[in-house]
Amino acid sequence: MMHAVRRHGPYVLILPGFMLLAGLFVLPVGQLLATSFGDPAGSFVHYERILTQPVYLRVILRTLTLSAATAALCLILGYPLAYQLNRSKGVARGLILLCILIPFWTNLLVRSYGWIVLLNPQGVINGALREAGLVESGLPLVYNTTGVLIGMTQIMLPYMVLPLAAVMSRIDPRVMDAARSLGASPRAAFLKVYVPLTLTGALGGVLLVFMISLGFFVVPAMLGGQRDILLAQLIEFNVNQTLNWPFAGALSAVLLVSTLVLYAFGDRFLGLRRLWGAE
């Protein structure tokens, strides 16, 4: 008996958590996906509907473009910030870290609510612009795609900056010195040496942001407008409004497969697990 425990010790330790996830997470997700194939009219009717009704392809396309745009914006804003974070010291570094970590640890709803307060036509930003005489009526900054992008980018930015800064901190500063001493201009040294060294981190960050954005539900629902119909909202609609679980299952399958494929790719080629802090 003791022998068995020692030999299988690690597995025994894992067992309770494994049972919990297997029984109350993996199995239910599997069941949800299974219902999508269970229609008497044929196993694939729900998938046919997704492929033949133009609206679903459009929603999928919309989900992909919004996520891609979020990832791109995160890279554009995140790269300089990560760079600055990495070369700052003392108080400046602490301040930057606070600006990244406080939002990161703050509830999504709080931040979406904050954006509504800031961006709505009577809000803080439009008020300031009107005060300054720059605009007459409010700019449409929220309840449209602009609002979704502003909100999603802010929410996803820490996922880009933190891993990227970690990658940058591992770069030996002497590499840059060496490039300079070999006659490279600062710009060339940066572009030819520094950027390539951070490329995996940057791509990993982009992939991570893109992947998480695909499943966003709260932010588009709160900040979006008529064109911001994403997959997650359709899943919710089919469950709560029309009680069409099999179709919700089919839409879930599309979202889940896309997410898992992206994850597998990132895990294999970009060290996603390490970026996410898992390893």
Partner 1 sequence: MGNRRISAPSSGKAIDRRLLLKFGGASLLAVSAPSVLRAQAKEVVFASWGGSWEAAMREAWFKPFTAKTGIEVRTVQGNTYGRVQAMVESGRTDWDVVEVLPDFQWIGPKRGLLEPIDFNVVDKSQIMPGADMITEYSVPQVLFSRLVAYNKKLGAGPQSFADVFDTKKFPGKRAFYTKANGAYLEAALLADGVDPAKLYPLDIPRALKKLSTIRDDIQFYETNAQAEQMMSDGQAAIALTPDGRALNARSHGAPIDIQFGLSFLTWSAMVVPKGTTRKAEAMQLIAFCLTREAQAEIAKVYTYGPVVPKAFELLPPERANILSGGPQMQGKAVIMGEKWWGENLSGVTEQVNAWKLS
Partner 2 sequence: MRRPGRLLLGAIAATVCVYLILPTLIVVPISFTKTDFITFPPQGFSTRWYAAFFTRPEWSGAFVTSLVVATFTAALTTVLGTMIGLALPRLPPRANRLLGLFFLLPMIVPAIITAVALYRPFAQIGLIASVPGLIVAHTILALPFVVINVAAVVHKLDWRIVDAARSLGATPAIAFRKVTLPALAPGIAAGGIFAFLTSFDEVVVALFISGSGATTLPVQMWSGIRFEISPIAAAASCLLLLGSCLLLALFSLLKRT
Residues 235-264 that bind partner 2 (CB under 8 A): 235-236, 239, 245, 248, 252, 255-256, 259-260, 263
Q: For partner 2, which stretch binds (CB under 8 A), given 40-48, 54-62, 151-159, 165-173?
A: 151-159
At its nearest, how many Å lie between partner 1 and the CB of residue 121?
A: 5
> Is residue 259 within 8 Å of residue 63, measured between CB atoms?
no
Q: Which one of partner 2, partner 1, none is in contact with 27 (Cβ closer than 5 to 8 A by kind)? A: partner 2
Site for partner 1 in 112-141 (CB under 8 A): 120-122, 137-138
Residue 52 or 257 with smaller CB distance to partner 2: 257
Tally of CB atoms within 10 A around 60: 19
Residue 103 or 138 with smaller CB distance to partner 1: 138
Under rule CB under 8 A, residue 96 binds partner 2 = yes
Q: For partner 2, which stretch binds (CB under 8 A), given 13-21, 38-46, 54-62, 196-204?
A: 13-21
Site for partner 1 in 32-91 (CB under 8 A): 53-55, 58-59, 62
What is the 3-state secondary structure of the chain?
CHHHHHHHHHHHHHHHHHHHHHHHHHHHHHHHHHHCCCCCCCCCHHHHHHHHCHHHHHHHHHHHHHHHHHHHHHHHHHHHHHHHHHHCCHHHHHHHHHHHHHHHHCCHHHHHHHHHHHHCCCCHHHHHHHHCCCCCCCCCCCCCHHHHHHHHHHHHHHHHHHHHHHHHHCCCHHHHHHHHHCCCCHHHHHHHHHHHHHHHHHHHHHHHHHHHHHCCCHHHHHHCCCCCCCHHHHHHHHHHCCCCHHHHHHHHHHHHHHHHHHHHHHHHHCCHHHHCCCC
Q: How far is CA 83 from the centre of its chain?
A: 21
Site for partner 2 in 156-175 (CB under 8 A): 157-158
Under rule CB under 8 A, residue 269 binds partner 2 = no
Q: For partner 1, which stretch binds (CB under 8 A), given 74-82, 88-96, 148-156, 226-234?
A: 226-234
At its nearest, how many Å lie between partner 2 and the CB of residue 34?
A: 11
Q: For partner 1, which stretch binds (CB under 8 A), given 175-183, 184-192, 224-232, 254-262?
A: 224-232
Site for partner 1 in 229-258 (CB under 8 A): 229, 234, 237-244
Please identify which residue in 91, 105, 174, 183 interacts with partner 2, judged by CB under 8 A. 105
Residue 23 or 186 with smaller CB distance to partner 1: 23
Long-range pairs of 112-116 with CB within 8 A, sequence gap ≥ 24: 112/151, 112/218, 112/219, 112/222, 112/223, 113/222, 115/142, 115/147, 115/150, 115/151, 115/154, 115/223, 116/142, 116/222, 116/223
Q: For partner 2, which stretch binds (CB under 8 A), given 45-53, 111-119, 135-143, 167-175?
A: 111-119
At its nearest, how many Å lie between partner 1 and the CB of residue 60?
A: 10
Q: Which residues bind partner 1 (CB under 8 A)?
A: 53-55, 58-59, 62, 120-122, 137-138, 143, 221-222, 224-227, 229, 234, 237-244
